[in-house]
Structure 1
Amino acid sequence: MRRQFRNVITFAAAGLLIAAGAQAQQPNFVLKGKIGDLPSPAKLYIAYTTTGTQGTYDSVTIHDGRFEIRQYVAHPAKALLSVSRTGVSKRLFATGDLTFVYIEPGAEIELSTPGNDISAAVFKGSVTQTQYEVFRKKIKPLEITRDSIWRLRYSKTPGLDTAAMAKQVTVAMNAYLAGLKQFVSAHPDFYVSLDVLDLYAGANFDLAEITPLFNALSKKTKTSPKGLEYADRLRNASRSVIGKPAPAFSMADTLGKKVSLSDFKGKYVLVDFWASWCGPCREENPNVIAAYRQYRDKNFTVLGISLDSKKGDWMKAIHHDQLEWTQVSDLKGWKNDAAVMYDVKAVPHNVLIDPSGNIIAKNLRGEALQKELQRILGK
Structure 2
Amino acid sequence: MRKILAIFTLALLSFSCQDDKGYAITGSAENIKDGTKIFVSEISNSNRPQRVDTTEVKDGQFELDLEDNDNPKLSFLEVEGQNGNVIFISENKEINFELFKDSLRASRVTGGKENKVLEKYLDHLKAVNKKMTEVRTEVKAAFQNQDTAKINKLRKTEEEILDNDKVFKQKLVKENKDSFVAIMALTDLLRMKSLPSSEIRKMYESLPENVKQNAIARDLGKQLENASATEIGAKAPGFTAPTPEGEELSLKDAMGKVTVIDFWAAWCKPCRVENPKVVKIYNKYHDKGLNIIGVSLDRPGQKERWLKAIEDDGLEWHHVSNLQFWNDPVAQKYGVKAIPATFILDEEGTIVARNLRGDDLEEKIKELLGEE
- When normalised by structure 2's length, the TM-score is 0.72
1:136 aligns with 2:129: no
SS at match of 1:262: helix
SS at match of 1:296: helix
Q: Which residue number corresponds to residue 101 of structure 1?
A: 87
Q: Which consecutive residues of structure 1, in runs of 5 or more, have no partner in the other structure?
A: 1-5, 19-27, 87-96
User: Which amino acid is 1:7 matched to?
Assistant: R
Q: Which residue number corresponds to residue 23 of structure 1?
A: none
User: Which amino acid is 2:224 matched to?
Assistant: L
Return the match for 1:295 from 270, 281, 285: 281
How big is the shift at 1:141?
A: 4.3
How big is the shift at 1:354?
A: 2.5
User: Which amino acid is 1:182 matched to?
Assistant: K
Return the match for 2:294 from 283, 291, 304: 304
Q: Which has the higher helix share?
A: 2
1:355 aligns with 2:351: no
- Which has the higher mean CA deviation after the structures are superposed, 192-201 or 237-246? 237-246
Return the match for 2:202 from 187, 212, 224: 212
1:338 aligns with 2:324: no
User: Which amino acid is 2:152 matched to?
Assistant: A
Q: Which residue number corresponds to residue 8 of structure 1?
A: 3
Q: Distance in 1 between matches of 2:71 and 2:37?
A: 25
Give the direction of change, closer, same or farther, for the CA distance of 1:187–1:159 in structure 2 (3 Å limit).
Answer: same
Return the match for 2:228 from 220, 238, 263: 238
Q: Which residue number corresponds to residue 74 of structure 2?
A: 78
Over the matched positions of the two proteins, sequence identity in percent amounts to 21
How big is the shift at 1:185?
A: 1.9
Q: Which residue number corresponds to residue 160 of structure 2?
A: 171
- Which has the higher mean CA deviation after the structures are superposed, 181-190 or 141-150? 141-150
Q: Which residue number corresponds to residue 189 of structure 1?
A: 178
Q: Distance in 1 between matches of 2:130 and 2:366?
A: 41
Give the direction of change, closer, same or farther, for the CA distance of 1:261–1:79 in structure 2 (3 Å limit).
Answer: farther
How big is the shift at 1:261?
A: 0.7
Q: Which residue number corresponds to residue 328 of structure 1?
A: 320
Give the direction of change, closer, same or farther, for the CA distance of 1:16–1:210 in structure 2 (3 Å limit).
Answer: closer
Is the contact between residue 238 and residue 252 of structure 2 (CA under 8 Å) also seen in structure 1? Answer: yes
Q: Which consecutive residues of structure 2, in runs of 5 or more, have no partner in the other structure?
A: 13-21
SS at match of 2:168: helix
What's the Cα RMSD here? Answer: 4.4
Give the direction of change, closer, same or farther, for the CA distance of 1:118–1:246 in structure 2 (3 Å limit).
Answer: same
Is the contact between residue 270 and residue 302 of structure 1 (CA under 8 Å) also seen in structure 2? Answer: yes
SS at match of 2:100: coil
Q: Which residue number corresponds to residue 151 of structure 2?
A: 162
Q: Which residue number corresponds to residue 250 of structure 2?
A: 260
- Which has the higher mean CA deviation after the structures are superposed, 256-265 or 232-241? 232-241
Q: Which residue number corresponds to residue 108 of structure 2?
A: 122
User: Which amino acid is 1:78 matched to?
Assistant: L
User: Which amino acid is 1:261 matched to?
Assistant: L
How big is the shift at 1:358?
A: 1.7
Is the contact between residue 36 and residue 115 of structure 1 (CA under 8 Å) also seen in structure 2? Answer: yes
Q: Distance in 1 between matches of 2:321 and 2:106?
A: 44
Give the direction of change, closer, same or farther, for the CA distance of 1:365–1:103 in structure 2 (3 Å limit).
Answer: farther
Is the contact between residue 33 and residue 68 of structure 1 (CA under 8 Å) also seen in structure 2? Answer: no
SS at match of 2:102: coil
Count residues in correspondence: 348
Return the match for 1:145 from 115, 119, 131: 131
Looking at CA atoms only, which structure, 1 or 2, has the larger radius of gyration?
A: 2
Give the direction of change, closer, same or farther, for the CA distance of 1:61–1:235 in structure 2 (3 Å limit).
Answer: closer
- Which has the higher mean CA deviation after the structures are superposed, 64-73 or 216-225? 64-73
Is the contact between residue 42 and residue 61 of structure 1 (CA under 8 Å) also seen in structure 2? Answer: no
